[in-house]
Structure 1
Amino acid sequence: MTATKGLEGIVAAASSISSIIDGVLTYRGINIDDLAENASFEEVAYLLWYGKLPNRAELNQLQQQLDEYAVIPQQVIDQIKLYPNGTNSMAALRSAVSSLALYDEEANDMSAEANQRKAIKLQAKLPTVVAAFARIREGKEPVAPKKGVSIAYNFLYMLTGEEPAEVAVKALDQALVLHADHELNASTFAARVTVATLSDIYSGVTSAIGALKGPLHGGANEAVMVMLEEIGSFDNVESYINNALANKVKIMGFGHRVYKNGDPRAKHLQHMSKELGKLKGNMDLFNMSVKIEELVTGQKGLKPNVDFYSASVYTNLGIQRDLFTPIFAISRVSGWTAHILEQYQDNRLIRPRADYVGPSNVKYVPIEDR
């Protein structure tokens, strides 16, 4: 046996949910460009779960289910209020999602129908959890979700307590579409490994959130914003980036394990960043980002990935940077749960082998002789 570090290039599962072929990302065979330009996030979630785009009646039914399940138990809100000051937002989300299982009477019901309902419940509740955490840590009471509005609208409304602008809702909705699924990424693989033991869907999503928390996965967009804040202004971009590249410092938000010719999602987020900058009357973040891209791509040949421009998009939406990765989770839970449902349908325990490289033929030495 020979180990493949990071399982790079290893095909570990057959899936009909999403694909990355020759640099083209599709959900259920539909190009991400087509979905980003035309579909709502709710349509995309339905597509991932059911394998087809919904008709009007099916979309209305899904909206009603999302409305019904969006409220989270008071006990979970009370738990969030007990989290220590400075709690990491992804740690808070991981803990809250795990606890949601305690208040779901179907948590251990492994029927296909119950698991499908739990997928919708998780999709409905994650935005409420993230918004509640964001407000509670500021000493504010959570805002209850509205009915009959999109997930993007509801999240911005619950976060601020104010009706969001149409352009802000559209921008967030498109960002959710772009992040919804991405083949067998680290967090999705973690979810599938967990439920392959026939553990429950809440355990699978909790595992996925733990994987997404890392800066080499979901945390990259937050790291991009940290970099932009450190640079400070457009005039400092060139010296900062040149110095970082000269010292072999990794520039977050560039390059991708799978995409060799650029992430197809990045251009949509770049456009959103530009439009939101115009709306706010402040193009600083966008202009800095474009200059960074020019320098990094020009010198290293690396192109921006989905994380790079999402940092300025979320910041221009007035969202604190430590909520970037939880928003990623709000979107990706649609893909996680689709993969979990697929794993249940044709399950086999995921149990790879390791290439042992330690010592051999070692004899036990009694403790008195050590």
Structure 2
Amino acid sequence: MANGLDDVVAAETSLSDVDGLGGHLTIRGHALAQLAGRWSFVQVVRLLLDGFFENLPDDAELAARLGEARVDVFDRVVPALPLLAPLEVYSAMRAGMALLPDGETLTDALRLIAAPAVLTPALLRLRRGEQPVAPYGKADHAADMLRMLNDESVSPELAKPLDTYLVTVCDHGLNASTFATRVVASTQAGLTSSVLAGLGALKGPLHGGAPGPVIEMLDAIAAHGDAAGWLRNEIAQGRRIMGFGHRIYRVRDPRADVLKAVVRKLGGDGETGRRLAFAETIEQTALEVLRIAKPQRSLQTNVEFYTALVLEAAGFPPDAFSNVFAAGRVAGWVAHAREQQTTGRLIRPQSRYVGPVPDLVA
């Protein structure tokens, strides 16, 4: 039996392929580099959902329907958010999404895809003592998310990095949250129940909860002043260097390269530019320290490192990074749930009992 199900094939999928040895990510026949920065998030949503819903509309109509879904989610769920706002922002978002209908239609799917983009800004504003801002259904998805966060119009130049980020994290093989989604979908429980399972798995610090600590690491190194010394001490204490290494990739995470290019476009002469330049210096130092400290392992930069920088530059606090991760990954969860329901069966693996054996009475 493989510990942690390493190398066990649990599903056949047409959605994405992760080549850990080659460092490639394929999404429905397209290399990530062909999509990120070139296709909008809505176009990639359509790519993922194609074949799983009848009469899937074209890109323009799907964008309009996703805008309508944002408005629908706001009207349905935001009135309940003041009761949820005292929770941590991720748990509050998850609780809000649990209020959505548990259906199987395209409308249900688009509500789920819209929900993190609507609920996260609303919750962050409530925590700041501000009123949530209603979505503008005709806006681009990422731009509307930023507009709801700051209550001001957003230029395409500012919205593009977030849109690229959502594309970059939309799907990634049979990771923990996607597998959890497919397990629940295999019971025919409904799309909302399936997505809630994915949300639960994504919260963990070994999965979607990891980008936030990257910011803590950068701040700690800046305060310490000696990057190499700080990193060597962390390794000596047996602590993980956040933003480096990956369960599947044995070379550099291709998503890190995509987001690094995004980060460089965000830079400049101001505070953001200085922060990003500092992070690049830390990246190079960390790679060298890891190479010397752990020569037997290939610990390369992963998506978490540059995720933290992109989302910080976009104005999201670290404790909401997983929310924004979910805003992209939910498209993949919905597609996997539909694929499991249409092509799979109930997922019911076996276990091997290793506990004590009862005495048998003669």
* TM-score in same-fold range (> 0.5): yes
CA distance in 2, matches of 1:139, 1:241: 38
In the TM superposition, residue 68 of structure 1 has moved relative to its aligned partner by 1.5
- Taking the TM superposition and a 5 Å limit, the aligned residue runs for 1:98-137 are 98-101=98-101, 107-108=102-103, 110=104, 114=105, 116-137=106-127
CA distance in 2, matches of 1:287, 1:263: 20
**AA aligned opposite 1:82:** L
**1:277–1:316 contact (8 Å) kept in structure 2:** no
**AA aligned opposite 2:308:** A
In the TM superposition, residue 187 of structure 1 has moved relative to its aligned partner by 0.5
Residue 39 of structure 2 corresponds to 39
User: What are the superposed Cα offsets for residues 56-92 of structure 1, whole Å, 9 maximum, x if unpaired?
Assistant: x71111011112111225452232101263x211111
Residue 104 of structure 1 corresponds to none
**1:273–1:310 contact (8 Å) kept in structure 2:** no
**2:93–2:120 contact (8 Å) kept in structure 1:** yes
Structure 1 segments of 4+ aligned residues over 6 angstroms from their partners = none
Residue 275 of structure 1 corresponds to 265
**1:180–1:332 contact (8 Å) kept in structure 2:** yes
**1:76/1:207 CA distance change after superposition, 3 Å:** same
CA distance in 2, matches of 1:84, 1:341: 31
CA distance in 1, matches of 2:152, 2:272: 22
User: What are the superposed Cα offsets for residues 139-170 of structure 1, whole Å, 9 maximum, x if unpaired?
Assistant: 21111111222111000000000112332201
CA distance in 1, matches of 2:356, 2:311: 50
User: What are the superposed Cα offsets for residues 104-126 of structure 1, whole Å, 9 maximum, x if unpaired?
Assistant: xxx34x5xxx2x33111211232
User: What are the superposed Cα offsets for residues 243-295 of structure 1, whole Å, 9 maximum, x if unpaired?
Assistant: 11222210111111111011001012112223223164443332332233223
RMSD: 2.0
Q: 1:334 aligns with which of 308, 325, 331?
A: 331
CA distance in 1, matches of 2:154, 2:32: 26
Residue 90 of structure 1 corresponds to 90
Moved more, 344-353 or 25-34: 344-353
Identity %: 37
CA distance in 2, matches of 1:268, 1:4: 32
User: Unpaired segments of 5 or more residues in structure 2?
Assistant: 292-298
Q: Does 1:307 align with 2:295?
A: no
Q: Give the SS at the match of 1:251.
A: coil
Residue 77 of structure 2 corresponds to 76
CA distance in 2, matches of 1:220, 1:330: 16
**1:69–1:121 contact (8 Å) kept in structure 2:** yes
In the TM superposition, residue 202 of structure 1 has moved relative to its aligned partner by 0.3
**2:85–2:127 contact (8 Å) kept in structure 1:** no
CA distance in 2, matches of 1:74, 1:42: 22
CA distance in 1, matches of 2:285, 2:51: 41
Residue 213 of structure 1 corresponds to 203
In the TM superposition, residue 334 of structure 1 has moved relative to its aligned partner by 0.5
In the TM superposition, residue 296 of structure 1 has moved relative to its aligned partner by 2.8
Aligned residues: 347
Q: Does 1:251 align with 2:252?
A: no
User: Unpaired segments of 5 or more residues in structure 1?
Assistant: 102-106, 365-370
Q: Give the SS at the match of 1:297.
A: helix
Residue 348 of structure 2 corresponds to 351
CA distance in 2, matches of 1:309, 1:36: 14
CA distance in 1, matches of 2:170, 2:74: 25
Q: 2:320 aligns with which of 318, 323, 330?
A: 323
CA distance in 2, matches of 1:193, 1:279: 48
In the TM superposition, residue 51 of structure 1 has moved relative to its aligned partner by 5.8
- Taking the TM superposition and a 5 Å limit, the aligned residue runs for 1:113-192 are 114=105, 116-192=106-182
CA distance in 2, matches of 1:99, 1:164: 29
Residue 294 of structure 2 corresponds to none
**AA aligned opposite 1:336:** W
Residue 296 of structure 2 corresponds to none
